[in-house]
A and B are shown apart, each in its own frame.
Chain A
Amino acid sequence: MKVLLAVKRVVDFNVKVRVKPDGSGVDTANVKMSMNPFDEIAVEEAVRLKEKGIATEIVVVSCGVAACQETLRTALALGADRAILVETGVELQPLAVAKLLKAIAMKESPQLVIMGKQAIDDDANQTGQMLAALLDWPQATFASKVDVADRKATVKREIDGGLETLSMPLPAVITTDLRLNEPRYATLPNIMKAKKKPLETVTPDALGVDVTPRIVTLKVVEPPKRKGGGKVADAKELVAKLRNEAKVIP
């Protein structure tokens, strides 16, 4: 069974982003970039499926600028077999990425597509669902446990009040939540080996996909600052303040 992974290059989760003074966006120049943490979980899940003998080949895709190759090499070092970069300088939005991934899925015919539930930059939480819709495949979002057997996926997923278990025929799209697994680190020998694994580059044009953004960002500002830092001495003073000053408890 072939597994297709989608990974995104994002500002590292440890970086405190800064809004550009001209309000055009956040400053990403000279900032550490990494693989989106939810996508790392997707990579790990695919590698585990391969280790169990369920997946036979893992193909990883990233869409964006040439530097996304680094993200793809990371996935290859973690255990993916080959990589595809859809290279473009255009700002890619989830619908465009879903269309690109659909084009690749049509060529590659995977049984399973796994990707993170959201990217930590735009926090959109859309691409997996959109891809499933465009392919007319079933979807299991926010997965915390995945079992694949008899051409079916059984997925435990996180919902607002707890957990839900879905069963669906393959092919299907799964998006990962935090508790699905704990991703491994790439070892040095595997990082070296990854450099020799195949990495193909294609363009949106070659895939026949129009990636023109449909949403225009008019401005980006810092959120209003909270005036915190107030202190109280003990529980008694706290209760008094909540009652008489903040008036949030009776």
Chain B
Amino acid sequence: MLKVNNLHAGVEGNEILNGINLEINPGEVHAIMGPNGSGKSTLASVIAGKEEFEITQGSIEFDGEDLEETSPEERAHKGIFLSFQYPVEIPGVSVTNFMKTAINESRKARGLEDMPANQMLKLIREKSELLEIDRKFLSRSLNEGFSGGEKKRNEIFQMAMLEPKLAILDETDSGLDIDALRIVANGVNKLRSKDNAILVITHYQRLLEYIVPDFVHVLHEGKIVKSGTKELALELEEKGYDWLKNESVV
């Protein structure tokens, strides 16, 4: 589904990603871990198409198609979703209206009519229940005055609504207490299927107790320095990142 080949990318000549190789197949959950500044969030943004980053070498393929000339919205229409570490506040636009806009724009891109209102309402009800979201919450302005936990839950609600093929969760666990973490992880797990894939980006192993990955990759200085199964995450938790930094030098 996603193939990242020798990806080099950066901002204004500063290279942040130094040759990333990553392949994700349908049904898989991958986790990328790494210390602060290792390039985790940059990788997430580059896959989602943020224009600020320049790809200097390598490529990103999605469903066999090179994404180089593809805008973020087109990537979204193809089924890539990015859950933000810091979701943006949009005053005056309710969660419901925002979702209607997003869904209908995606449908328009696929040549479909707007989703009928009753179907939309049913979908919103179903997905908000999945994430234990109060109905009142849906009429509030998007992310405005939301707590950290509410913002993250709302991100996963959007993911549930948009049903992406590949969901990238960027530090979804940061700022969450244990109850909120459980609800969010539960929501993500219910959305797992053999047809979609998830890329979890996290600093800590905690989230991976709830969203159990098939593969774990460690990012350091813009490179994947080690890959393994979920046991690697536990090892990292025990030994910290320094152990790997040393190993990568060797």
Do they bind each other? no
